[in-house]
Amino acid sequence: MPIALWALTLGAFGIGTTEFVIMGLLPEVAADLGVSVPDAGHLISGYAVGVVIGAPLLAIAGSRLPRKTFLFALLGLFAAANALSAVAPGYEALLGSRFLAGLPHGAFLGIGSVVAADMVPGHRRGQAVARVLMGLTLANVAGVPLGALLGQLLGWRWAFAGVAVIGAVAALVLRAALPDQPRPAAVPVRRELRVLARPQVLLAFAVVVFGFGGSFAAYSYISPVLTDLTGFGATGVSVVLALFGAGTTAGAVVGGRLADTAPMPTLYLFTGALAASLALFAVAAGDPVLAPVGVFLIGATGFVAVTSLQTMILERAREAPGLAAAGIHSAFNIANALGALLGGAAITLGLGLTAPALVGAALSAVGLALALVLGLSDRRATAVRDEVPDGLSEEVPGAVEPAPAVVG
């Protein structure tokens, strides 16, 4: 893999840290700002909404800029927004700064994935995308546990200040390490949106929203579960957060390889395994041995399928790779917002702290059902394509040709 991929990984590390560190600090933030834990959970959804809105809009706005310049500007915005979070005077200000911090998330990871895919031969695209996403998983191994521990010991504001520094350093390293990128070829926005409206692309996005909404439903409220039910202190919570990160890292590595060989069976198997892991955690949350095992499995099973889905979407929307890749991260953060919202609603209804994990298991089961529909749609599209003379497959609704390497 080209060394410049590590610069993209570092940028993803900073973004992943700020996305997930709040989940380890909800009790502290809620107590300091005088709100309930479910209300503090809206800070997770606020960031996610920023990603959902910012990913497509910034991807379109930056489509005429050199990619290196655009990626550097996105990280600059990210660092500034996290600095604002560190000094936010109240709940509403923090919610607004979290929204701003989410705006560059999807565009950076989306365009970064396209740049990564351009750097390698076609048969290694899955591994290149996995390398970028590994920054998110490494954030869960190191950035999130350390940030949560820092926030618990010194105050939650220090966690966001640390993230702002990570973002600034990542921007400088990226500027120094990433080779100059050619200006992307102009693609009409209407054409890009038409590509994203293909039924198979929309189905794949739906799998992301429901399948991985399950992970976020449980993980958003992991800190109060571990403290109130499992009985862990600050250090124990940080260790379990690191276990989640270890699971996501292992899942991303395995998923990158399986995405290049058997993406659809991988999606079926590990979306189902995610639903089972969430159900297991709901049952075992009070056990200090089994609860960490369940957290590890949630991270591992969920992230195995992530790279397969991203690779499949890029193939189905190959004429608009930048917008499609940004759209993937919008879909993941719709999942984030949906999971946090439904998990918090279950707690507010008095169903207990294990209820978000059960909500997550149900969401992931829906994601598995949608994945099966996507696979059936693929088989039908392939059968139709095989019956159509060469050169006419683009005229057949839903037909998908084997995708070349993603290019800009």
Q: 27 with 220: CB under 8 angstroms?
A: no
Per-residue model confidence (pLDDT) at position 330: 80
Q: 110 with 70: CB under 8 angstroms?
A: no
Mean pLDDT per 10-residue interval, the chain, length 408 residues: 73 87 87 89 88 83 80 91 94 94 86 74 68 78 86 90 88 79 64 75 88 89 91 88 86 76 84 93 92 92 78 73 72 86 91 94 94 85 61 44 33
Q: 207 with 349: CB under 8 angstroms?
A: no
Per-residue model confidence (pLDDT) at position 408: 31
Per-residue model confidence (pLDDT) at position 398: 43
Per-residue model confidence (pLDDT) at position 24: 82
Within 227-289, residue ranges assigned H as helices are 234-259, 263-284
Q: 247 with 141: CB under 8 angstroms?
A: no
**3-state SS class at 95:** helix
Token reading at 220? 């958003």
Please state the domain extents for the chain: 4-179+189-385
Q: What is the pLDDT of residues 62-84, one digit of tens each?
A: 777 888 888 889 989 999 999 99
Q: Cβ neighbours of residue 178 under 8 Å, at least 6 residues apart?
A: 4, 7, 8, 68, 71, 115
Question: Of 280, 109, 46, 316, which is closest to residue 207 (Cα–Cα)?
Answer: 316
pTM of the complete model: 0.72
Per-residue model confidence (pLDDT) at position 27: 87
Rg over CA atoms, the chain: 20
Question: Could you identify the residue written with the tokens 């918090």?
Answer: 344
Q: Does domain 4-179+189-385 have CATH number 1.20.1250.20?
A: yes
